């Protein structure tokens, strides 16, 4: 795995390094630590790299460092493409005046345009024990599920497969909507989840299934809070408008989860997205 770890030296960014150090990486994996020069000079970059190497000291992965000049979001995206990164790892927020993840345009640009999966780390969650997989019937969600089984999580990680079932409803005059769950959707998600649970159990995970109802983003955020999740994993896009599942669309549900989740967030992208 080729991991690009973008850092500005802030406590938020350093949390990402601590989390990476706890993953089950091997010498075949490579972490490139990237900082974007904001005209503070080489001494500041050296300080950032020393802190990053300290945070990553427990990893078996190979590590190198790179400095680039320019706008942070553009240089991070360019580096992802040039180095064929499999995963971009960033802190939830950057230092004032530097890279500001989850604050406006940088987040939207990184999440929407990175050619690889994006892992956003919060300082309260620097180790992974419990993972929530947001699952619908889209190809993107299936790709996220496949990537999850191969991701280098620590041994004994618990994975909860969580689907927010759709509601069909009719609006009667001067009355509240009457909600009618779709039995076919429920059957399909249970069937898909059971297959995935078998795969996860075979890979050494602890796995369970949870069916929720309601607004997708709100239901998933509440579940993450209630379960004290360390990470939520999702696809970058969801079902097409013709399908009846709520769509996990980057820029809507996925972006809301990445922005507001009380835990780390991993957005899985397929090649070409």
Q: What is the pLDDT of residues 193-234, one digit of tens each?
A: 777 888 888 777 888 989 888 888 899 999 999 999 999 999
What is the CATH number assigned to the segment(s) 2-121?
3.40.50.620
pLDDT score at 104: 40
pLDDT score at 263: 93
**Which residues sit opposite 211 in a β-bridge?**
163
Q: Cα angle vertex 242, ends 240, 244, to 5°?
A: 90
d(C-alpha 94, C-alpha 118), whole Å: 16
pTM of the model as a whole: 0.84
Strand 62-69 to 206-213 pairing: unpaired
SS3 127: coil
SS3 23: coil
pLDDT score at 92: 76
SS3 170: strand
d(C-alpha 81, C-alpha 54), whole Å: 27
Alpha helices in 203-241 (DSSP H): 216-227
pLDDT score at 152: 94
pLDDT score at 184: 59
Helix, strand, coil percent content, the chain, rounded in steps of 5: 35, 25, 40
238 near 246, Cβ under 8 Å? Answer: yes
- Of 118, 124, 128, the closest CA to residue 155 belongs to 128
**Which residues sit opposite 162 in a β-bridge?**
134, 210
pLDDT score at 249: 46
d(C-alpha 59, C-alpha 73), whole Å: 27
Enumerate residue ranges in the chain where pLDDT < 70: 38-43, 93-108, 166-189, 237-251, 271-273
**Distance (Å) of CA 79 to CA 2, 16, 31, 34, 204:** 12, 18, 13, 9, 34
* CATH architecture of the domain formed by 130-268: 3-Layer(aba) Sandwich (3.40)
92 near 102, Cβ under 8 Å? Answer: yes
What does R_g of the chain's alpha carbons equal in angstroms?
19
Q: Cα angle vertex 93, ends 222, 269, to 5°?
A: 70
pLDDT score at 55: 97
Residues of the chain with CATH 3.40.50.620: 2-121, 130-268
Q: Taking the chain, what is the end-to-end CA distance rounded to the nearest angstrom?
A: 19
């Amino acid at each position: 795995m080729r991991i690009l770890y973008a850092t500005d030296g802030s406590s938020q960014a350093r949390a990402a390094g601590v989390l990476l150090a706890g993953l089950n990486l091997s010498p075949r994996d490579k972490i490139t630590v990237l900082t974007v020069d904001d005209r503070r000079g080489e001494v500041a970059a050296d300080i950032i790299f020393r802190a990053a190497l300290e945070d990553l000291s427990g990893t078996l992965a190979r590590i190198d460092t790179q400095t680039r000049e320019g706008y942070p979001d553009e240089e991070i995206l360019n580096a992802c493409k040039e180095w064929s990164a499999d995963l971009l790892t960033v802190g939830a927020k950057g230092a004032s005046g530097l890279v500001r993840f989850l604050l406006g345009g940088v987040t939207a640009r990184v999440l929407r345009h990175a050619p690889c999966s994006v892992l956003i780390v919060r300082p309260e969650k620097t180790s992974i024990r419990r993972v929530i997989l947001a699952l619908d019937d889209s190809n993107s969600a299936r790709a996220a599920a496949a990537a999850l089984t191969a991701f280098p999580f620590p041994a004994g990680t618990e994975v909860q497969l969580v689907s927010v079932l759709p509601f069909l409803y009719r609006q009667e005059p001067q009355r509240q909507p009457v909600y009618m769950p779709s039995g076919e959707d429920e059957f399909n998600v249970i069937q898909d989840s059971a297959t995935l649970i078998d795969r996860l159990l075979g890979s050494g995970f602890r796995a369970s299934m949870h069916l929720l109802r309601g607004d997708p983003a709100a239901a998933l955020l509440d579940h993450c809070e209630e379960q004290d999740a360390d990470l939520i994993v999702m696809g970058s896009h969801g079902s097409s408008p013709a399908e009846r599942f709520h769509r996990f669309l980057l820029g809507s549900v996925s972006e809301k989860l990445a922005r507001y989740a009380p835990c780390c967030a991993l957005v899985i992208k397929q090649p070409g997205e």
